[in-house]
Structures are given as C-alpha cells and as structure tokens.
Amino acid sequence: MTAGAPIPAIGRDLEPFFAAAAEGRLTVQRCVSCGELRFPARGLCASCLSTESEWTPVSGRGEVYSFFWMHQVYHPAFAGEVPYAVVVVRLEEGPKMMTNIRDCPKEELRVGMPVEVTFEKRGTDVCLPQFRPRDS
Amino acid sequence: MAPFSPTHTAIAGLGITEQGKVYGRSAVGFAVEAVRLALEDASLEPSDLDGIVVNPGLSWGLAGSMGSFAVQQAMGLTDVRLSASLSLGGASAGAMIMQAALAIEAGMASTVACVFSDAPLTAPRPGPGKAAGTASAYAHSGGLETAYGMFGVNGRYALLAQRHMHRFGTTQDHLGAIAVGQRAFAHGNPKAQLRGTPLTLEDYHASRWVAEPFHLFDCCLVSNGGVAVIVTSAERARDLPRPPVHIRGMAQGHPGGDPLETLTSGAVKAGDAAFDMAGIRREDIDFCELYDCYTFTVLVTLEDYGFCHKGEGGPFVEDGRIGPGGVLPVNTGGGQLSSFYMWGMTPISEAVIQIRGDGGQRQVPKHDLGLVSGNGGVLSTHSTLVFGRSAS
C-alpha cells in the first residue's frame, strides 16, 4: 500500500480489536447477553438490544461474499492503487468484514473464494487485517 | 366522514428548474424557484399555499434541519399549517406526497408544495486539475472502511450487483440494456442532461469503469436544481386548467437487514399495498418511473414489484422490453441515469408529465396508470406511488 494510506483512528470501541490485531489475532464483538457475533463494532446488539459485549477471537478464515473493483481515486494515497478490490469477507463464524484482497491477481478474484486473514502494518502503530486466498 | 382514500387528492402543479451544471445558486434558491414554477403551472398563487414539505439534498447543510421553514421564510408565507422536512434519501419524495395527501385528507391543509433541491456540484476552478462539476459531497467515507479505500455509495451498490450476478447469472449486458433504453428515452426530454448523446450497448461496454461491475453509465448523474409539485384535493384540482394527476395508491416499505446482503427492496410489500389501495392489478400499470441511482436498482425494483421473478430481472430487461416502444416503458424521460438526478422527484416529475400526456416525443401511448418508486440508502428505504389519469 502506498505511503500515506489512511490510518484508521482507533476510538475506544476498536481498541481491543486493534490490540488483538497487533498480536496477529482477528476478533469480533460478541453479545454477552445472547451470544450473537457482530462486526463492525456497535454499542447495541441488534438481536436482543443488550449493551454488554466482549471481543472474541475468530478463525480468520472465511470466503469472499462479494467484491468490487474501485477505479475512482477518492484519496491521493490510493491513486497508484486503482483499480483495487474492496472485498466483503464472510467469516466462518458468520460476521462480514469489509477488507481488501492481497496476493490475488485481478482475474482470479471471485465470489466464494476461500480466504484467510493476514495483517498489514499501516503507519507505525496499526496492524490492519487484510485477506488473501487460502487452499480450501 | 368517508374513509381515507388517496384518490381524494391529486397533483395539480409541477415545477422543474434548470438542471445539471448550474452553478452559483443555493439549494434553497432552487427550491423556491421550483415551488414558484409549480404554482404557476397549477395557476395558483403563493398565498394559496398552506403546506410545505421539503426533502433537503446534501448541500442544504444546516438549513436542511428546518428545510420547510427555510422555504416558508424565503417565500414570505405567513399562514402555513403543515410544515415538514423528510429525510429518507431517495424514498423521501414519495413520502412527501404521502404526507401531503394525508394532511389534505385530514383537513389540516388544502394546498401543499413538496419540493426537493440540491446544489452539490461546484464550479470548475480555472487552470488544470479538477474536472468540471465535481460532486465531492458523494465521496463520503468513515471509520475503518476508509483504511480499505471504501468511499462513496457506488461501491455499496456494486457489491450487491456482484452478488446478484453470482446468484442469478445477471450479466453486464443486462445492466447495459437498462442504460441504453433510458438513454433512448432521454432524447425526447428537453430537460435531459444527456439528451443528444446516443448510447449503444457497445458504447456502454466501452465506457470507463467506476466501481466494477459498474461502468460510468450504470451510475446516475449528479445535478444542481430543484423539482416541486403541488398537491391539493382532487375536487380542487379538477377546477384548475391542467389535467389532475390522481394519487391512487401509496405505501412505504423498509425491510431493514444487512445492507451488504439485501437483494430485495421494500417494493415487494409496498407494491402490493399500493396496488390494493388503488384497486388495480400489477398488469394494469401502463408505465413505470423507477428510482434509478444505478441500473441495478431498476432491475431489482422490477423483480420486487413482481413484473418477473426474483433473479430474472436481467433477462426481463433485454430485447427492448422497457425502452421506447417496449411493452413496459420504464423511466420514460431518461431517469436519473440520463436526464437529471433530483432523487425521488425525478421519477415523480416524469410520471406527472406522462399522465398528463405532456411527454411530447417521449410520450407513451397508454398513460392511464403510472407506477413510481423511491429508494433510499442501499435498498434501505422505499416508497411506492400509483398515479392515475382518472380518480378511479
């Protein structure tokens, strides 16, 4: 990724997520009340409206649920990247994550492709989860 | 009192300002001009207005939080009895008509202006660099998604289109057929921004990618301008010079759920409810004006209204079925893909024109019943209207 790519602001809600990512672990939120897994982070469980949640590790494996190739440059850091894929991965555990794909030629990316998490340094402090193809 | 029926109400006036790359004017200014034009069209005076409903576009900023009051003040109106600003994205325009019809039927107001306006396009700066008419207002992003280069709404619909293609075999040719059909209609619309720019399926495929699988011509225009309609009682509308456009059915549908996943809009339930209210069957519809932020939105909406089965929207739109001369004309003024992007007011305004028989070159031969959809968010909010040339 080109220098200057946006570094996510780590608000209090995402601190545990990025702390785990720095140790190479992918986590999602889990409702303490009903057990529903969710991502992205939210303050409220949409199934039971509980505000109690915790971060729980997931396998990091999933499959490509959908994707598109971004051809427009909305941010200068991505000018050298277009077209790049924005990918929705459905984790084995259920939640979906918006991400990019790594180590995958454009013509090989497809819906249903098995993928696994990989971590990418963004700036000096942030480890950003990304996904790459895996053998099924 | 007789039970509520929307057929006691009608659209009596339509105002469309200049559309497109019109710079140096405010969104509120466009709104006021659109209302003035709609009043003129209806042969009514500003003093006849006792209701104002506004859907503020993105560029309204703080004024949008009390958008209807901003219009009232700008027009110097001192006896308004219904005032509301609605924010359901592209479903707002339909919801404005519903709000007006309900208030009129309840005796709260007699003559209501419903208006959308926006001015998100900024003029090109002199010298090299930015292209003319950029609309950075639609390039929003936030949170974690920015880190992955997810900006704007094009990609969100592209993700759904990709799913539709995967599940149902929908093709680029199917999406292209919608773009081509609407462009053909736009040539008969003097207000269309892309009038006179022909589009073949080959041109469609050759156009640049925006958010692949979306080409440039899968995506709506961005426009500065305003559109207003005047809603009043059917009884009063019949006494005015222009032919009334009767509101026959109206319904909303907001299915919720995961916006990354949904391939079904609120049109499923709202369509049936509006047909029931109008006392008609789907087969009675003569033409459709469907919210078309993207070609894909039209395809999904046709499926959801039941013109074909879920997943069969692609084959349905082929072979000119929805274009000029087709059995089900859709977006007869070019829609937001080829005429102008006034959110839900684009389909409503074209339906008014067609019902009245004012379509000129693009007039559809049979125009007794028109179906109008509005869609906001990412298939998140939905409105359905059925307009009729007669009240029953």
Q: Do the Cβ atoms of A40 and B209 come within 8 Å?
A: no
Catalytic-role residue among B204, B291, B294, B305: B291
Task: Say if B258 is an interface residue toward chain A (CB within 8 Å).
Answer: yes
Determine the pLDDT at residue B206: 98
Q: Can you say how many angstroms the Cα of residue A50 is from the centroid of all Cα atoms in its chain?
A: 24
User: For B207-247, how does the pLDDT look when each residue is reduced to its tens digit (9 = 90+)?
Assistant: 999 999 999 999 999 999 999 999 999 999 999 999 999 99
- Number of domains present in the structure of chain B: 1
pLDDT at A132 over 50: yes
**What is the end-to-end Cα distance of chain A in Å, rounded?**
27
Determine the pLDDT at residue B304: 98
Residue at B231 is within a domain: yes
- Min CA distance, A50 vs chain B (Å)? 18
Determine the pLDDT at residue A3: 63
Residue at B290 is within a domain: no
Residue at B89 is within a domain: yes
Residue at B215 is within a domain: no
Task: Say if B140 is an interface residue toward chain A (CB within 8 Å).
Answer: no
Q: What is the CATH number of the domain that holds B115?
A: 3.40.47.10
Q: Do the Cβ atoms of B212 and A98 come within 8 Å?
A: no
Determine the pLDDT at residue B134: 64
Which of B141, B145, B148 is best to mutate for the A interface (most A CBs within 10 A)?
A: B148
Determine the pLDDT at residue B88: 96
* Residues of chain B falling short of pLDDT 50: 1
Residue at B99 is within a domain: yes
Q: Do the Cβ atoms of B163 and A66 come within 8 Å?
A: yes
Residue at B76 is within a domain: yes
Chain B residues close to A72, C-beta within 8 Å: 151-152, 154, 210-211
Determine the pLDDT at residue A6: 82
User: For B241-277, how does the pLDDT look when each residue is reduced to its tens digit (9 = 90+)?
Assistant: 999 999 999 999 999 989 899 999 999 999 999 999 9
**In the annotation, is B294 catalytic?**
no
Chain B residues close to A99, C-beta within 8 Å: 148
Determine the pLDDT at residue B1: 45
Q: Can you say how many angstroms the Cα of residue B85 is from the centroid of all Cα atoms in its chain?
A: 17
Which positions ≥6 away from B315 have C-beta within 8 Å? Answer: B174, B308
Residue at B356 is within a domain: no
Q: DSSP assignment of A76-104, as one string?
A: GGGTTT-SEEEEEEEETTS-EEEEEB-S-
Residue at B33 is within a domain: yes
Report CA Rg, chain A.
15
Q: Where are the domains of chain A?
A: 12-133
User: For A45-58, how does the pLDDT look when each residue is reduced to its tens digit (9 = 90+)?
Assistant: 999 999 999 999 99
